[in-house]
Amino acid sequence: MDVVVLVKQVPDTESLIQIAEDSVSIKTGDLKWIINPYDEFAVEEALQIRETQGGTVTILSMGPEKATEAIRTALAMGADSGVLINDPMTAGGDALTTAKVLAAALKEIPYDLIIAGQRAVDGDNYQVGSAVAEYLGIPQISLVIKEEIFNGKIRCHRVFEGGTVVVETPFPALFTTQRGLNEPRYASLPGIMKAKKKPLDIKTLADIGIDPAIVGKAGSKTKIKTLNFPSERQAVRMIDGESGAEKAANLVKILHGEIKAI
Amino acid sequence: MSKRKIFVGGEFLITDSEPGDMFIVEEMTTEHKMIYSAATDFVKKEILPNDEQFEKINEDYARSLLEMAGNLGLNGTDIPEAYGGEDMDKTSTCLVTEALGGAPSFSVSFGAHTGIGTLPIVYFGSDEQKRKYLPKLATGEWFASYCLTETDAGSDALNTRTTASLTEDGKFYILNGEKIYITNGAWADIYIVYAKVDGKSFTGFIVERAFPGLSLGKEEDKMGIKGSSTTSVILKDCRVPKENVLFEIGQGHKVAFNVLNIGRYKLAASTVGACKIAITEAVKYANSREQFGRKISSFGMIKNKLADMSIRTFMAESLVYRLAGAIDDRFNTLDETAKQQVTENAKTIEEYALECSIAKIYGSECADFCMDELVQIFGGSGYIAGYPPERMYRDTRINRIFEGTNEINRLLIPATILKRAMKGRLDLLNAVQVVGEEIRNYLSDTVIMGDAPLAVQERLVKISKKIFLLAAGKAANRLGANLEEEQEVMGFMADMIIEIYVMESGLLRAMKIISKKGESNAQYHDATAKIYINDTFPKIVHWARQILSYVEAGDDQAAQIATVNRLADYPPTETIALRRLVAEKVIKARKYPF
């Protein structure tokens, strides 16, 4: 079973995010970068599949050269090889153009299964995985919390409001991850040293035969107009009162009278 | 990577370094970054959420953590690959140690295991001993501990009463004695025990838990690090096979002290990790606690604290990684055969003995400062058990005591310098003479400085060295062989040497970052170096004046002190606005900002 995992390098969720002067991007100077947490689930699941089914795990990413760090981390966790599509013409693209690039790259990489995070925690588009499956013309199952492989098929449990649904499809297929799928392993120190020697190809758009005009900023169908921070949370207000009943009465008064919520 | 100049130990006092001569943590390789992430993730996910577990002894938990650390390869960074480790550079070890330094109590169990517990075998063990013990220590299947201290052999470590005598058949040594305050005591599977063979020859032994005649005292009820084991280790006719002699009979001091050197800089790395956690806790609280209708992080006095905690931690971090880089560089000059030789390893470690003492002192005192301010920022709740500051304040206090008290380390620093000067390993006498001549020929009171970034601070560090050489030269001259008995003078000398190394490390790091990223992208590094050197330089002057007013008298005294005063004349740097700048960065970053 050859598995390809789509990985994106994103700012650490604990980083302080600042909006850049252009008001449509963020300042990247001081940020610490990590593997998108949902993609970490994808890497872990791919490694577990390889453990039971044999085969290979390839990491595919698009991004600046710095994104090799995220690929190296996945290699340190145990993946076999990595491919980074690194081309300045991909910059400023939307989810659809990213999917076009990844789908083009996947024409050169053998796969039975593709696993992607349900979304990247920076852009929160929830689109790339699905769009890649569409471009490749293969079935896709989203928000998976459990999978089983048997008789040349994959059966996935996916969550939806109030329950789970079990979906089955033949290979090749793509699924996206949901929290609860697994507990990603740590990259061990020997793993980190081994990762240094594993193959990592860096390719341009020309290498994967894609026209720069249909990707990046030029090829995007959507455009970010502006970025805003949510308004700052109000300070906590303690409700006064001698007894529980009195506090409840005061709370009702505030909700009804002041805030007019009820 | 450009080649860094290799300095001999203590040379920083007489030769000025260029920024290019020093490794800074910002020069980490991708692998280093990944190693640091792996170790910090481990602490963040497996240890910190169970914070309260570490207020009592829990052997099973500690063992499971050590094994988990073993699986990740964290125990084996200093262990050769052939014996189950990864044989990484000292920078990697420092990064792992720093990350684990953020773990309550386990940092001490881990530090003792991977440091003073494992390293005696790594550096001084025979191939057979390495094969037998190191793989188990690397995986974390076995805990290691180091047994030097006794009731009458604390700082005076060689005053060991524990004895070893060979059995008649020549197969065993019989050990008798009692070691106290042994970290990992109740958990250890092997003990590195120091004893005197026939009451004379100080020697190291590897003693297994199961050897007949070894027993343990009860757990000590400690002020802090309550989740780590500390017991006495009692040897009563304990039978140790002859093969378990570590290194050579009568050479135990080399094992004991060289391993302590490594232990000392690792301790410093660990305190850097603890300080970073303290800063995170402090700023988190200061950003949420409101008084007078404002977040307390908006008040100048709290800003000062956040800035100072970060500035000192920056200094500690700068010197620890500078030292790790220097030790790596020196190890890299050894060829493969030399690396296998115990004596070459020992010489390499010994070279930077005094820098290791500096790291230990500065790191532990920086941590005490940070924990103290952490409690203060929390105010009343900082004094209440259950909030992190109360535990962290108690936990850090041991760092000034173990691995050689800070007092013993302070005495070691000038003593080592003087010994090396006498042996011709360090050209201190010449440097003292040169400074003397410079002072005699010193005509102009105005010095023209370039307007390069940090030019003033660079000059102040250089002058600090001159002032030190002047005062130390006079002290050595007047007190001669009695100098070592005059511990107060030695203490002042040590303080000057420590702060010179600290100032220079912070300065060179800031200069290197400015030259890499440009002045406008390094304003916090620039401010940090300015504030620290501005505040520390007057202390150098004070210590020199104290030494001179004690060792000199009459006209000589007046003349020497006048010289120091003339050298000390410098325009103060404005630091109020600079501290606010650094504090604002901490407040925004919500953590250690560098």
Q: Does B521 reach chain A within 8 Å, measured CB to CB?
A: yes
Q: Does B42 reach chain A within 8 Å, measured CB to CB?
A: yes
Q: What is the mean pLDDT of residues A123-149?
A: 96
Q: If pLDDT is split at 50, 70 and 90, which confidence band does A161 have?
A: confident
pTM of the model: 0.92
Tell me the residues of chain B between 189 and 248 that have a Cβ less than 8 Å away from chain A.
none
Say what the pLDDT of residue B1 is.
47
Strand (E) or helix (H) holding B454: none
- In angstroms, rounded to a whole number, what is the distance separating the alpha carbons of residues A6 and A203? 15
- 3-class secondary structure, A229: coil
Tell me the residues of chain A between 63 and 82 that have a Cβ less than 8 Å away from chain B.
68-69, 72-73, 76
Residues of B whose CB is below 8 A from A192: 31, 34-35, 38
Q: Which residue of A has its CA nearest to B93?
A: A189
| Shortest distance, CA B39 to any CA of chain A (angstroms) | 9
| Domains of chain B, first to last | 146-246 (2.40.110.10), 424-589 (1.20.140.10)
- In angstroms, rounded to a whole number, what is the distance separating the alpha carbons of residues B161 and B199? 8
Q: Name the superfamily (CATH) of residues A2-219.
A: HUPs (3.40.50.620)
The overall average pLDDT reported for chain A is: 93
Neighbours of B20 (CB within 10 A): 13
Query: Which DSSP letter does residue A180 get?
Result: T
Cα→Cα distances A175→A60, B294, B346, Å = 15, 49, 56
| For residue B80, cis peptide bond before it (omega within 30 degrees of 0) | no
CB contact (8 A) between residue B588 and residue A16: yes
Q: What is the pLDDT of residues A167-216, one digit of tens each?
A: 999 999 999 999 999 999 999 999 999 999 999 999 999 999 999 999 99
B468 touches B281 (CB < 8 A): no
Quote the Cα angle for B51-B113-B205, to 5°. 150
Say what the pLDDT of residue A11 is.
94
Strand partners, B119: none
Which of B36, B40, B48, B72 should be substituted to probe chain A, the one whose Cβ sees the most A Cβ atoms within 10 Å? Answer: B72
Is residue B474 classed exposed, middle or buried when 0-12, 13-18 and 19+ CB atoms within 10 A define those classes? buried
Q: Does B71 reach chain A within 8 Å, measured CB to CB?
A: yes
Strand (E) or helix (H) holding A57: strand A56-62
Q: What is the mean pLDDT of residues A215-224?
A: 92
Q: Is B365 a catalytic residue?
A: no
Which segments of A63-192 are extended strands (E)? Answer: 81-85, 113-117, 140-150, 153-160, 163-170, 173-177
Q: Which of B150, B355, B373, B403 is catalytic?
A: B403
Query: Which DSSP letter does residue B114 get?
Result: I
**Residue carrying structure tokens 């390293």:** B119
Q: Which residue of B has its CA nearest to A29?
A: B521
| Shortest distance, CA B31 to any CA of chain A (angstroms) | 6
Q: What is the pLDDT of residues B472-488, one digit of tens each?
A: 999 999 998 899 999 99
Asked if this assembly's ipTM is beyond 0.90, the reply is no
Residues of B whose CB is below 8 A from A186: 38, 41-42, 72
Question: Residues of chain B whose pLDDT is less than 50?
Answer: 1, 445
Say what the pLDDT of residue B442 is.
67
Nearest to B573 by CA among B447, B460, B477: B460
- In angstroms, rounded to a whole number, what is the distance separating the alpha carbons of residues B158 and A16? 52
B253 touches B194 (CB < 8 A): no
Strand (E) or helix (H) holding B348: helix B342-351
Q: What is the mean pLDDT of residues A131-148?
A: 97
- In angstroms, rounded to a whole number, what is the distance separating the alpha carbons of residues A189 and B77? 8
pLDDT surpassing 90 at residue A30: no
Q: Provide CB contacts within 8 A for B581, sequence distance 6+.
A: B523, B524, B527
Say what the pLDDT of residue A162 is.
86
Q: Does A84 reach chain B within 8 Å, measured CB to CB?
A: no
Say what the pLDDT of residue B348 is.
87
Query: Domain extents for chain A?
Result: 2-219, 230-262
What are the φ/ψ torsions at residue B219 (nearest 5 degrees)?
Answer: -60, 135
Bridge-based pairing of strands B163-166 and B190-197 is: parallel
Q: Provide CB contacts within 8 A for B73, sequence distance 6+.
A: A188, A189, A190, A191, B85, B86
Q: What is the mean pLDDT of residues A108-122?
A: 96
**Residue carrying structure tokens 């009171």:** B445
Is residue B295 classed exposed, middle or buried when 0-12, 13-18 and 19+ CB atoms within 10 A define those classes? middle
Strand partners, A147: A156
Residues of B whose CB is below 8 A from A71: none
Quote the Cα angle for B1-B3-B7, to 5°. 140
Q: Which residue of A has its CA nearest to B87?
A: A190
Q: Which residue of B has its CA nearest to A17?
A: B589
Say what the pLDDT of residue B451 is.
79
